[in-house]
Copies of this chain bind each other. A is one copy, B any other.
Amino acid sequence: MPPKCLQLENINPNFIAMEYAVRGPLVIRAGEIEKELERGMKKPFDQVIRANTGDCQATGQQPLTFLRQLLTLTLEPRLLDSPDYPEDVKKRARLILDSCYGHSVGSYTESAGLEVVRRQVAAFIERRDECIPSDWQNIYLTAGATPGIKSILSLINCQLGGKTPGVMVPIPQYPLYSATIAEYAMVKVDYYLEEETGWSLNRKELQRSYCECQQHCNPRALVVINPGNPTGQVLTRDNIVEIIKFAYDNQLLLLADEVYQDNVYDKNSKFYSFKKVMHEMGEPYRSQELVSFLSTSKGYLGECGLRGGYMEVINMCPQVKAMLTKSITAGLCSNTIGQVAVSALVNPPQPGEPSYERYVCEKNATLASLKERAELVHKTLSGFEGYKVNPVQGAMYIFPQIEIPPKAIAAAKDKNMAPDAFYAFELLESSGICIVPGSGFGQKPGTYHFRSTILPQTDKLKLMMEKFRVFHDEFIKKYK
């Protein structure tokens, strides 16, 4: 037998380098434990609680009736005659079907998505940003936010003067960024969020990071995640102004990951879109190049599986935009059901329409419950010995700093594990709770964190918090 064509030594080395902690070894082990429980293996718990991914419906959130009805009507147009569906949903379904080739969601769409949905997105952005214009031709529908982010990072992947392009990302960060930057063999340029001031972002740190990286790469873009993942903070308007100035002064493309824009719980926090702030700052900042991302996976929809999303590409040079457009044509188009889900997000029932009351009631209940859970998790974990916890102002995560006793650090070293991964594995094996160690997101050297979602439904979350407390007390006792 000759050796295999493909071996670790002769495949894309970037595949070997990349990591994606949110679906890493801990999550794989959680899946194994679930199968062990199914097979009747005895454990100190009877179920795995998955607090590792921002997957709302996996943990019991109910889908919006309006959204699912709209999807159903576009998939089964014969139901357009059924009295079981409200007229406002039917009207929206007809509008979408009329814009599909052959009146079917089974047809390909334009590569950037259905024009009618792109126009609805633009109108939604104009309402959100209080009349700042949005051009529908700047909107690209994408399968969740991920493919949009990847296509923009790929677009700027250009060696200049022998230097590799660099992308500035916050630390801690959502590991899609580190994974994609590794996949494209670009340079990840870390800037640290300041934990002491609620994960705020300051210009001095941006400047330090920018200056240090220039020796080994050519920084091209600045990524900001607001509200923060995994950190849960909501940036202040002043902070956003500083960031925009910094990007402008250093000719960096701004990537605003704003997928949690509807997830703000703290009464003193407010979401400001980068676009709006930039516009209000006037020239020259108003002309700054910016790409903003939103998806149907978060917010109050939580439709992760449907893979709907969009990006708005602002102030990009037309010739460059044409290349971006061309590059996505080979992928044909994003899935139509995701596109319809985006339509449901940006064009909801209005006062006076038959679906309105139910829609508002469901939406508000979901958001109120998320707020309640955000507070519950923060309150509980704040009481744990050795924890420092910032409040969950927004998004769906908490990212506590934990003190790990030296004996536990030594035990982790024996197992060749990062101390926070050791903590997370012990938690999983003894309580069934699955979280993601801070090392998967990045953290200041010598500090330890983890990310937990706030997503299990309230009853289950209370149970989870109680189990967590028991584990933590025992862990501290064991290793103190």
Contact for A251 among B5, B75, B109, CB less than 8 A: B5
Hey, what's the 0/1 contact readout for A209-222 against B, CB within 8 Å counting as 1? 00000000000110
Nearest B residue to A7 by beta-carbon distance? B317
Does A173 interact with chain B (Cβ within 8 Å)?
no
Q: Give A22-38 interface residues, CB cut-off 8 Å to B.
A: 22-23
Residues on B with C-beta less than 8 A from A4 are 289, 315-317, 320
Residues on B with C-beta less than 8 A from A180 are 330
Q: What is the CA–CA distance of A19 and B323 in the complex, to the nearest angstrom?
A: 10
Q: Would A335 and B332 be within 8 Å (CB), given that A13-B158, A106-B305 are in contact? A: no
Residues on B with C-beta less than 8 A from A305 are 100, 104-109, 333, 335-337
Q: How near does chain B come to A304, taking the closest CB pair, in angstroms?
A: 5
Does A83 interact with chain B (Cβ within 8 Å)?
no
Contact for A323 among B8, B160, B251, CB less than 8 A: B8
Q: Would A334 and B307 be within 8 Å (CB), given that A8-B323, A104-B63 are in contact? A: yes
Q: Would A183 and B57 be within 8 Å (CB), given that A72-B75, A305-B107, A317-B7 are in contact? A: no
Q: Give A315-329 interface residues, CB cut-off 8 Å to B.
A: 315-317, 319-320, 323-324, 326-327, 329
Does A302 interact with chain B (Cβ within 8 Å)?
yes
Nearest B residue to A304 by beta-carbon distance? B108
Q: What is the CA–CA distance of A104 and B55 in the complex, to the nearest angstrom?
A: 11
Contact for A111 among B6, B23, B105, B176, CB less than 8 A: B23
State whether B155 touches A6 (Cβ < 8 A): yes
Residues on B with C-beta less than 8 A from A13 are 158
State whether B160 touches A10 (Cβ < 8 A): yes
State whether A107 touches B11 (Cβ < 8 A): no
Residue total for A at the interface (Cβ-Cβ under 8 A): 95
Nearest B residue to A248 by beta-carbon distance? B2
State whether B160 touches A330 (Cβ < 8 A): no
Q: Give A292-323 interface residues, CB cut-off 8 Å to B.
A: 302-307, 315-317, 319-320, 323
Q: How near does chain B come to A273, taking the closest CB pair, in angstroms?
A: 19
Q: What is the CA–CA distance of A56 and B107 in the complex, to the nearest angstrom?
A: 7
Does A50 interact with chain B (Cβ within 8 Å)?
yes
State whether A327 touches B108 (Cβ < 8 A): no
Q: What is the CA–CA distance of A33 and B331 in the complex, to the nearest angstrom?
A: 24
Q: What is the CA–CA distance of A406 and B434 in the complex, to the nearest angstrom?
A: 71
State whether A327 touches B18 (Cβ < 8 A): yes
State whether B20 touches A156 (Cβ < 8 A): no
Hey, what's the 0/1 contact readout for A270-301 against B, CB within 8 Å counting as 1? 00000000000001100101000000000000
Residues on B with C-beta less than 8 A from A284 are 1-2
- Interface-facing stretch out of A140-148, A233-241, A258-266: A140-148
Does A203 interact with chain B (Cβ within 8 Å)?
no
Does A60 interact with chain B (Cβ within 8 Å)?
yes
Does A99 interact with chain B (Cβ within 8 Å)?
no
State whether A330 touches B106 (Cβ < 8 A): no
State whether B332 touches A146 (Cβ < 8 A): yes
Hey, what's the 0/1 contact readout for A98-120 against B, CB within 8 Å counting as 1? 00111011111101000000000
Does A53 interact with chain B (Cβ within 8 Å)?
yes
Residues on B with C-beta less than 8 A from A327 are 15, 18, 183
User: Which of A111, A221, A330: most chain B CB closer than 10 A?
Assistant: A330
State whether B106 touches A329 (Cβ < 8 A): no
Q: How near does chain B come to A315, taking the closest CB pair, in angstroms?
A: 8
Residues on B with C-beta less than 8 A from A7 are 317, 319-320
State whether A289 touches B105 (Cβ < 8 A): no
State whether A253 touches B5 (Cβ < 8 A): yes
User: Which of A20, A146, A155: most chain B CB closer than 10 A?
Assistant: A20
Contact for A108 among B58, B183, B220, B336, CB less than 8 A: B58
Q: What is the CA–CA distance of A337 and B307 in the complex, to the nearest angstrom?
A: 9
Q: What is the CA–CA distance of A185 and B22 in the complex, to the nearest angstrom?
A: 30
Does A179 interact with chain B (Cβ within 8 Å)?
yes
Q: What is the CA–CA distance of A68 and B176 in the complex, to the nearest angstrom?
A: 33
State whether A6 touches B330 (Cβ < 8 A): no
Does A138 interact with chain B (Cβ within 8 Å)?
no
Q: Would A336 and B106 be within 8 Å (CB), given that A15-B326, A156-B12, A183-B327 are in contact? A: no
Residues on B with C-beta less than 8 A from A107 are 55, 57-58, 304-305
List 21 A-B residue pairs with CB atoms under 8 Å apart, sorted by A's residue number.
Answer: A2-B284, A4-B320, A5-B289, A6-B156, A6-B253, A8-B323, A11-B158, A12-B155, A12-B156, A12-B157, A15-B155, A15-B324, A22-B329, A53-B108, A75-B75, A100-B305, A106-B303, A109-B305, A175-B330, A179-B330, A183-B330
